[in-house]
Copies of this chain bind each other. A is one copy, B any other.
Amino acid sequence: MTAYTAPLRDFDFLLHEVLDVSHAGIPGYDALDRETTAAIHTEAARLAEEVLAPLNAVGDTEGCRLENGEVFTPTGFAAAFRKLAEGGWIALDCDEAFGGTGMPYLMNCTTGEMFVAANMALNMYQGLTHGAISALQVHGTPDQQARYLPNMVAGRWTGTMNLTEPQCGTDLGLIRTRAEPQDDGSYAITGQKIWISGGEHDMAENIVHLVLAKIPGGPKGTKGISLFVVPKFLVNDDGSLGTRNGVACVGLESKMGIHGASTCVMAYEGARGWLVGEEHGGLKAMFTMMNEARLGVGLQGYAVAARAHQAAVAFARDRLQGRAVTGARNPEGPADPIIVHPDVRRMLMDQRAFVEGARAFACWGATLIDRAHRAQDADAEALISLLTPVLKGFLTDRGFETCVGAQQVPGGTGYVQSAGFEQFTRDARIAMIYEGTNGIQALDLVGRKLAQNGGKAMMAFFEQIRAETRAEADDRLRADFHEPLKAASKDLQVAVGVFMETGMKSPEEALAGAADFLRMMGHVCLGLMWARMARAAAAGLAAGGGDADFYRAKLVTGRHYMRRALPETGLLLARIRAGGETVMALEAEAF
């Protein structure tokens, strides 16, 4: 089993030295001074390190169990969830009108990283609940909000999102679940939903399902989908729980990982539900949850990787094997710690450069969300909309690769269950798949977001890079950070040009390179983050003080990213230029 230590210094650096949040001019951010964020992070870290992390292996080993329609979560999960709820962590950025704390989403992001790193499976129950809260906050009627939100925000009840059916995953137009209008204004929901996270469990008094279904007689395809709220127990007008609704968990999936998260087959048999948002407007309402979920999944990608990297470092410092090629470093011992070996360090530095860059990217993304929502800033909204598929796709792809790399450091120990490494790899794998596979993210990026509003958001992104590389900097920063960033950004611009040229003639040409483009853009985002962090670290170093080692390590890690990771943009551009000919040439039968 591996311990977990929250990256408190890194959060402080990002929020106050890189993003300078308390002077960012975003409503609510002026309260985020150094002491306040430190107090919140320290509290969340304690919960993550002491309560959630020790249950991570337990959850994996025990998994969930279905008996007579009831789902039992692993030992300790219910008690830990209670602590999450009672600590106010679900409520952190929820509306104060429903009992929330009203903090910026940014704080949800930083504390969420710790909770996910400590125990990804356990945190899913609160993540899904949070998404359902957001959907009801935006699309619910005042009655629905009053009926459901206070208990959800308090974590007494949890929430779910019900999209997938056996015949329909990505293509929601194929949904068969029916919602028959009843005389009292409610609907009778009938159908089967699969892969429902937290669809049933023993950690809350009630479960509030948000369900996509079709009202008979509506338009075909996705235009005929509506969203319904379907509680496990009906809620009386006085807020007390009423009778059991016609919804039940009829199966649990055995999965590669996240065993502590129940993944349910849900049967709706004339369950009572109420319309959320507009009739046939379900997709729009669901996307409030979905966009939030995608950011949350991106966060999962790098958070699990951060934990896996920590474990790899601890192993590499501890394990004695072989001698340094330049001479023994631990001559009294039987061998040197393997962290002396260049290839082990290469793996550790690759991991570290990704994790710290990803953390900055997620935090920056969170400030864009806050700026969009709290300051009604349409430019920020457009930019985060462009970046959402990148945050989801790039951070989960690279996060998984980072877990695989961390698993490689301890050799055979990485393959043995009790050591914990292989669980990170198995858990992280799902993040590339759910809430829209990473292929779907790439399609969203290239097929929709890129050209939206005449490519305005993309131009704003390039402007961010230009602004950074125009910032005051010494020759070293220019050579180590600005020049590589400019080169990578140039590759990205050329790729946009290729798409503009070919996409008109053949959408297949452009879409064959969509995944490459998403990855390229992810690298440029992390390159931008590293340029910003390097500037802040250089400033910190120049200011003197006791943190010189921290800043120097930041600069080394950043250079590592710029030299070793960022040049992948050239390869990705070559792939995009290669186009779709070989991708599309074979008949389906020839495979």
Note all chain B residues with C-beta closer than 8 A to A348.
591
A377: min CB distance to chain B, Å: 32
Tell me whether B253 and A590 are in contact (CB under 8 A). no
A553: min CB distance to chain B, Å: 5
Report which of B426, B434, B574, B588 forms a contact with A567, defined as CB distance below 8 A: B574
Q: Is the interface of A mostly helix, strand, loop or mixed?
A: helix
For A352, give the chain B residue with the smallest CB separation: B591
For A174, give the chain B residue with the smallest CB separation: B334
Tell me whether A171 and B335 are in contact (CB under 8 A). yes
- A contact set with B: CB distance below 8 Å: 164, 167-171, 173-174, 195, 253-257, 313, 316-317, 320-322, 325-326, 334-335, 337, 339-349, 352, 400, 404, 407-408, 411-412, 414-418, 422, 425-426, 429-430, 432-434, 437-439, 442-443, 447, 506-508, 511-512, 514-515, 549, 552-553, 556-557, 559-560, 563-564, 567-568, 570-571, 574-575, 578, 580-586, 588, 590-591
Tell me whether B582 and A560 are in contact (CB under 8 A). yes
A245: min CB distance to chain B, Å: 26
Tell me whether A417 and B578 are in contact (CB under 8 A). no
The 5 closest A-B pairs by CB, nearest first: A560-B582, A563-B578, A256-B422, A342-B511, A343-B439
With contact pairs A582-B556, A591-B313 given, residues A443 and B570 touching in the complex (Cβ less than 8 Å)? no
With contact pairs A348-B591, A556-B582, A591-B317 given, residues A415 and B442 touching in the complex (Cβ less than 8 Å)? no
Tell me whether A511 and B433 are in contact (CB under 8 A). no
A164: min CB distance to chain B, Å: 7
Interchain residue pairs with CB less than 8 A apart (27): A164-B412, A168-B321, A169-B412, A174-B335, A254-B416, A254-B418, A255-B416, A256-B416, A256-B426, A313-B591, A341-B439, A342-B514, A342-B580, A343-B439, A343-B443, A343-B512, A346-B512, A348-B591, A408-B432, A411-B433, A412-B433, A556-B585, A556-B586, A560-B583, A567-B571, A570-B571, A571-B571
With contact pairs A416-B253, A429-B422, A515-B346 given, residues A325 and B507 touching in the complex (Cβ less than 8 Å)? yes
